[in-house]
Structure 1
Amino acid sequence: MELRQLRYFVAIVDHGSLSRAARVLHIVQPALTQQLQQLEEELGAALLHRSAQGMLPTDAGKLFYEHAQAILKQVGDARSAVAQSADKPTGTVALGIPQSASGALALPLLKAVRAHYPEISLQMTEELTGNLIEQLKSGRINLAVLFDDGQLSGFAVKPMVEEEMMYIARADSQFISKRKVIPLDKALQAPLILPGLQHGVRPRIENIVRQAGLSIDNVIDINSIAILKSALMADMGATILPVAPLLSEIERGELRAWPIGGAKIVRSVVLCSSKNIPLTNAAGAVERLVLEVARELCASGRWLGARNLM
C-alpha cells in the first residue's frame, strides 16, 4: 500500500467520480482506476461502487476513508514539523470544539490565530463530544476542547475553565417563577430540553441529579443547539446548560437564565491532545493560544458563567 493510493482514494470519495478526481490529481483516468483496483485487491474488499450519484464508498470504503484521512494528515503534520520554524510556525492545525462551547470560544480564537499566526491555517470543526474523542484518537484532529468526565486519561489534558450550568427558559415562559434562584427539584418539574447522552453535558447533569436523590422524568432529547434554541423559543420546556451557547438570545432578552439552588452543577472544560502523536510547532502554538484566549475571556467576563482553571 502506498501513500499515493490513499491520496487517490480520498480524492475519488471527495469528488464523487473517477474523472473529476483524475483531473484534480493531474493523472489519466485509466491509471487512477488501476491504482484503485490494486488497493482493493490488497485489502480484499470493494471500496467504491457506482450509483446514480456517482462513485460512493461501500461500508468498507467508509471505514477505510477515515483511516486514510488520518494517515495522510499525520504524514502532512510530520513534514510540517520538520520544515517549520519555531519562531514562525506555519501549516494546518485541526481543532475540534463541542457545540456548547463554540459560542464562547470559536470566534475569539479565530481572530487571535489570524492576528498572531497569520501563516497557520486553523481548521475548526464543531462536533458532539463523542465524535471529537474518536477524531482525536485517530489523529484526524490535532487538538480538541472537551469536558473532563474522568474518562480522558488517554489524552494529554490541560485545564481551561469551569462553567456553571443554569436553568434557562424563554423570558415569558410558563415554566418560570419569580424566584431569583430555581431549586433543583423545581427545575426538574418542567419538561427539560437537553442534549443526548452522547453529549458531554448530559451525563454530568444526570450524575448530579442522581446524587441529589432525584430523577429527570420528562426529557426532550435534541442534539442540535439550533433546534434546541427553537424549542426553547416555542416554550416547549426549559433547559439546564452553560450560558455560552445561548448567550445571544439571553443578551437580547429572549431567554433568561437562573442559578440552580440545592446543587452545584458545573463542568470542567479542558484542552486535549494525543499522547502518542507529537504536536507540530503550529499545533503547539495554537494550543498555547487557546489557553490564553480562554483566560482572557474569563478575566474580561465575556465567557459568562466561566471561571479560569489555569
Structure 2
Amino acid sequence: MELRQLRYFLRIVELGSMSKAAKDLYIAQPALSSQITNLESELGVRLLSRSVRGVSPTRAGDALYLHAQAVLRQIERLKYDVANTDALPGGPVSVGLPTSAANVLAGPLIAAVQQRYPDIQLRIVESLSGHLLELVATGRLEMSLLFEAVPATSSPAKEIQRGANIQWIPLIDEDLYLLAAPSKGGNDSSTVVLKEAASVPLVLPGSANVTRQIIERRFAEAGLAPSVMMELDSLSTIQSIVESGQAATILSLSALVGAGVREKLSVRPVDEPPLRRRLSLCNSDVLGMGAAAEVIGGLIPELVRDLVASGRWAGARLL
C-alpha cells in the first residue's frame, strides 16, 4: 500500500467522482482507476460503489477513509514536528464552533492563539452541531465544541464515549431562556414554567438544530407542544424578530449579540422542567491530535472556565 494511493482514494471520496478527482490530481483517469483497483486487490475488499450519480465509499471504504485521514495527518505532523523540534507548536488546526458558542468564544480563542502560539494557523468552522459532528467523525475537523441534551442523570465532568469513535469532554451546561420584547414577555426575570411558554408564539431554529430538538423533546415529555409561528436558522435574524416584538424565542443568552441587548428584552429562565443543553469538546479517538492541536485542545477548556467565572458566558455553569 502506497501513500499516494491513500491520497487518491481520499480525493475520490471527497469529490464523489473519479473524473473530477483525476482532473484535480493531474492524473489520467485510467491510471487513477488502476491505482484504486490495485488498492482494492491488496485489501481484498471493494472500496468504492459506482453509479450514474458518481462514486461513493462502501462500508469498507468508509473505514479506510477514516484511517487514511489519520495516516496522512500523522505524516504531515511528523514532518512538521521533526523539522521544528525546538519551536513552539505550529501548523494548521481546525476547530468547529456552533454559532452561539462562537459568539462568546471565537474572539478570546483567536486572541489567545495569536498571543501564545503565533505559529499555529487556526481555522474556525462555524455551523450546526450535527454538521460539525460529522466533520469531526470524518477527520475534516480536528476538534469541535458540540451541543447536546443534558443527560437525565448527572454525569461527572470527565471524558466519556458516545459511539462513532468520538471522545466527548463535557465543559458547561447552559440554561435556555424565554426571550421576548418586554411587551410580549414581561419585564421581570422570574422563571416561566413550560406550560406557560407553550402558549407564547415562538420563532425557533429549524428541526436540524440541536437546541430545537432539545426544546421539542422537553415539551413532548411534558405532554405539550411549542407554538412555533416560524422557523429560522439565522440566530441574528431570530434576535431581530424578537427585538421587534413579532415573536418570542427560546435560546441561550450566548445566542444574543450586541451591547445591552439583554437589558432590552424580557429574559426568563424556563423551568418545570428546566431547559438546559450541554456543551462538550469533541475529537476523534481514531485520528488523534498533533502537538498544535493538543495545545488548542487544552486552551479551549481554560478559556471557557475563564469566561464563565468572569460572567462573560452568561447562563452557563461549569461541569
Band the TM-score falls in, shorter-chain normalisation: 0.7 to 0.9
What is the distance in 1 between the residues matched to 2:229 and 2:169?
Answer: 33
- The answer for the alignment partner of 1:296 in structure 2 is 306
- The answer for the alignment partner of 1:268 in structure 2 is 278
The runs of at least 4 aligned residues of structure 1 exceeding 4 Å deviation read 6-13, 16-19, 31-44, 66-73
What is the distance in 2 between the residues matched to 1:178 and 1:11?
Answer: 51
Q: Retained in 2: the 8 A contact 1:94–1:122?
A: yes
Identity, % of aligned positions:
28
Which stretches in structure 2 are left out of the alignment for 5+ residues? Answer: 41-47, 152-159
SS at match of 1:259: strand
- The answer for the alignment partner of 2:178 in structure 1 is 167
Which stretches in structure 1 are left out of the alignment for 5+ residues? Answer: 48-57
What is the distance in 2 between the residues matched to 1:215 and 1:7?
Answer: 44
What is the distance in 2 between the residues matched to 1:95 and 1:122?
Answer: 7
**Does 1:98 pair with 2:98?**
yes
Query: What per-residue deviation string (whole Å, max 9, x for no partner) do you get for residues 280-305 of structure 1?
Result: 11111111000001011011111111
One of 164, 167, 189 as aligned partner of 1:156: 167
**Letter of the aligned partner of 2:113 in structure 1?**
V
CA separation of 1:139/1:298 partners in 2, compared to 1, >3 Å: closer, same or farther?
Answer: same
Moved more, 227-236 or 92-101: 227-236
Moved more, 112-121 or 206-215: 206-215
One of 5, 8, 28 as aligned partner of 2:8: 5
- TM-score, length-normalised on structure 2? 0.74
- The answer for the alignment partner of 1:60 in structure 2 is 55
- The answer for the alignment partner of 2:45 in structure 1 is none
**Letter of the aligned partner of 1:122 in structure 2?**
L
Task: Tell me the CA shift for residue 249 of structure 1.
Answer: 6.0
Q: Retained in 1: the 8 A contact 2:180–2:249?
A: yes
- The answer for the alignment partner of 2:143 in structure 1 is 143
What is the distance in 1 between the residues matched to 2:263 and 2:175?
Answer: 20
**Considering only aligned residues, what root-mean-square deviation do their CA atoms show, in Å?**
3.7
- The answer for the alignment partner of 1:176 in structure 2 is 185
What is the distance in 2 between the residues matched to 1:265 and 1:253?
Answer: 21
Query: What per-residue deviation string (whole Å, max 9, x for no partner) do you get for residues 49-83 of structure 1?
Result: xxxxxxxxx553799xx999967753442024324
Q: Retained in 2: the 8 A contact 1:102–1:245?
A: no
What is the distance in 2 between the residues matched to 1:211 and 1:78?
Answer: 46
What is the distance in 1 between the residues matched to 2:102 and 2:196?
Answer: 29
- The answer for the alignment partner of 2:70 in structure 1 is 74
Q: Retained in 1: the 8 A contact 2:219–2:225?
A: yes
CA separation of 1:40/1:229 partners in 2, compared to 1, >3 Å: closer, same or farther?
Answer: farther
Task: Tell me the CA shift for residue 37 of structure 1.
Answer: 6.0
What is the distance in 1 between the residues matched to 2:221 and 2:20?
Answer: 54
Q: Retained in 1: the 8 A contact 2:66–2:287?
A: no
